[in-house]
Amino acid sequence: MLRSRGFWLALYLGAIVLPLLVLLAGERPRPGGFWWDFSLALGYSALAMMGIQFALTARFKRATAPFGIDLIYYFHRYLATIATLLVVAHVLVLLWRHPAAVGSVDPRSAPAYMTLGWLALLAFLALVVSSLWRKQLGIEYDRWRWLHVVLAVLGMVLAIAHVLGSGSYLESPLKRGLWLTLAAFWLGLTVYVRILRPAWLARRPWVVTDVRRERGRSWTLTVKPDGPHPVFDYHPGAFAWLTLRASPWAMREHPFSIASSPMRPGALEFTIKELGDFTNRIGEIKPGERAWVDGPYGSFGIDRFPHARGYIFVAGGVGIAPLISMLRALDDRGDRRPMWLFYGNSDYERIVLREEIDAIAGRIGMKVVHVLCKAGPDWQGERGYVDAEVMRRHLPEDLDGLECFVCGPEPMIRLAERSLGQLGLPLARVHSEIFDIA
Amino acid sequence: MREHWARMIAMLTGAIVVLLSAGFALLQNPPGTPPAASAPAAVEMALDLQVVARGREVFEAQNCMRCHSVGGEGNPRSPLDHAAAGLDAARLRAFTVGSESVADALGRRTLAAKQAYQQLPAEDLDALVAYLQSLVQLQPGDELGDRGKD
């Protein structure tokens, strides 16, 4: 079912390059000099790149699965920032070479399409600044979500109006039509994600059936379908967008790994750590409350590598959430392949799901290595971080045929990749999920 | 590692777009092609310099340089340096205010935009046309104009 990464990359490249090539087809306007045409082409390309952002964040399962949706959001940050820099370059080149053509910024003397262009620039800059420095600016996550969607749609609409108004390359009705269609398609994706998909979800309500306190300031939340619709099929390691105490249209959904085993249908579990505005209030949720679940998403997990000789798991803190789903599934399936779990935490008392992990490990013969960075003097086990030294002490010489799954903060993923590389496990065998994608 | 690739592809995309835009600009402005403007025939006109100066003021006040350039200043796509070489005063005026007689030459959207200038006072329009006529005479050495360069 999964199309190759190459297919989606080619499609992506086409979506960026083709809108520009369309401008070259047929009758072209008079040349305006190298810098003039260069700047205008930059503007058009940047707009095409902005359009792509709507597709990247539209949660298309098939397109995002080969890469992992966490990576798609990571990519979105970079690409959107670069597109904004190109918009800035478009403006700077014109100001440098053709200031008279740019004219006054004053909206009273400037034509409408120029004012719209300036406003689009402001919207895009505000979008990037509010996203890259959200925490420093003290913008609350839920507020930021609204701001982000509003600014993105606004910037796009203003930029398209600017392009159609100045129209330099869009004199022919066919080209105008193509660009308008493209723009309508990008904006239509927002309608799909923000209106149509929530409407679909609204017909499939869920209910919270259990809220359980775990170690390490974490909670396990159990939800069940509240109606005839079944729990969707998912693979261990998948995640879903969860909405609590809000409507599906409220843009208050948060992504969480599914912690339960797909071998036990009927309910979903999420193990969530208190880390922010939303997660700090998970403990206040009462059984019987309404929940909305959009899933499953993600391609992280053992079921993409069913023929592995064995598995190595590396988790940091609540990064255990997607891994516990895999461990529970392996337990339910009676899998007895060689397995290791390196589990980094601050101290022994805060190891999330410690007792259950030890019980599963006993049943499936998995070796669990707790690595504590703030352990007391009486701790006999590993200390510090999950690095090459720790791994070398517990892994066999021959890592051939093993697949490794890492979930935790970014530095931990990098350290695990480097360490396993030193021990001879190729990078292609190390699969990771970035813990904080928001 | 995956993050590394994501960053690489994003930056590669940026580089491709910049190169593509440069290619686009080169295709629009092939190097070595003689600039399009033909050398103007000598036009003998009696121009009142005061009226010409007033015309330049109108030209600037009306932001003509958003769409036109003179002596390389302004929007290079439609230079006016030699506009008067092939057009007499009546024709220049028709282009300026988007008369129906030039509809074929200008296209629908441009024509509509130009018709706004029909509101200009008659003496401002006269001055503007005089200014455009002066361009040919005032820049005899600049026969190649600015097209094709920037």
pLDDT in tens, A277-308: 788 899 999 999 999 999 898 888 999 999 99
CB A207 within 8 A of CB A221: no
Q: What is the DSSP string of A116-156?
A: HHHHHHHHHHHHHHHHHTTTTTT--HHHHHHHHHHHHHHHH
Q: C-alpha A64: how far from its chain's center?
A: 9
pLDDT average, residue stretch A193-207: 94
pLDDT average, residue stretch A73-91: 95
Q: Is A49 on the interface with B (CB under 8 A)?
A: yes
Query: How far are the Cα atoms of A113, B131, B139 from residue B79, in angstroms, in the given order?
Result: 21, 14, 13
**How far does the CA of residue B148 sit from the closest CA of chain A (Å)?**
5
- pLDDT band, very low/low/confident/very high, at A119 (cuts 50, 70, 90): very high
- Which pairs count as long-range contacts for B65-69, CB under 8 Å and 24+ apart, including other chains? B65/A100, B65/A101, B65/A103, B66/A100, B66/A101, B66/A102, B66/A103, B66/A111, B66/A114, B67/A101, B69/A98, B69/A100, B69/A101, B69/B146
Under DSSP, the state recorded for A187 is H
% of chain A beyond a pLDDT of 70: 98
CB A370 within 8 A of CB A348: yes
Partner-chain residue, chosen from A28, A101, A109, that has the shortest CB–CB distance to B75: A101
Q: Is A85 on the interface with B (CB under 8 A)?
A: yes
Q: Can you tell me the ipTM of this complex? A: 0.78
pLDDT average, residue stretch A220-232: 95
Query: What pLDDT was estimated at residue B111?
Result: 85
Query: What pLDDT was estimated at residue B36?
Result: 45
% of chain A beyond a pLDDT of 90: 67
Q: Is A33 on the interface with B (CB under 8 A)?
A: yes
Query: What pLDDT was estimated at residue B150?
Result: 38
Under DSSP, the state recorded for B79 is B
Tell if the CB–CB gap between A427 and B1 is shorter than 8 Å: yes
Query: What pLDDT was estimated at residue A3?
Result: 55
Query: What pLDDT was estimated at residue A405?
Result: 96
CB A273 within 8 A of CB A352: yes
A49 contacts in B (CB within 8 Å)?
A: 13, 17
Q: Which residue out of A64, A69, A75 would a mutagenesis test of the B interface target, given it has the greatest number of B Cβ atoms within 10 Å?
A: A75
Query: Per DSSP, which regions of A138-283 are E strands?
Result: 206-214, 218-225, 239-244, 254-257, 268-273
pLDDT average, residue stretch A212-231: 94
Query: What pLDDT was estimated at residue A156?
Result: 95
Residue B122 token pair:
């008659």
Residues 157 to 216 of A: which have CB under 8 A from any B CB? 167-168, 171
Note the pLDDT tens digit of each residue in A323-373.
999 999 999 999 999 999 999 999 999 999 999 999 999 999 999 999 999
How far is it between the farthest Cα atoms of chain A? 80
What are the residues whose beta carbons fall under 8 Å from the beta carbon of A290, sequence distance 6 or more? A205, A206, A207, A208, A226, A244, A245
CB B140 within 8 A of CB B132: no
Question: How far is Cα A296 from Cα A39, in angstroms, rounded to an integer?
Answer: 43
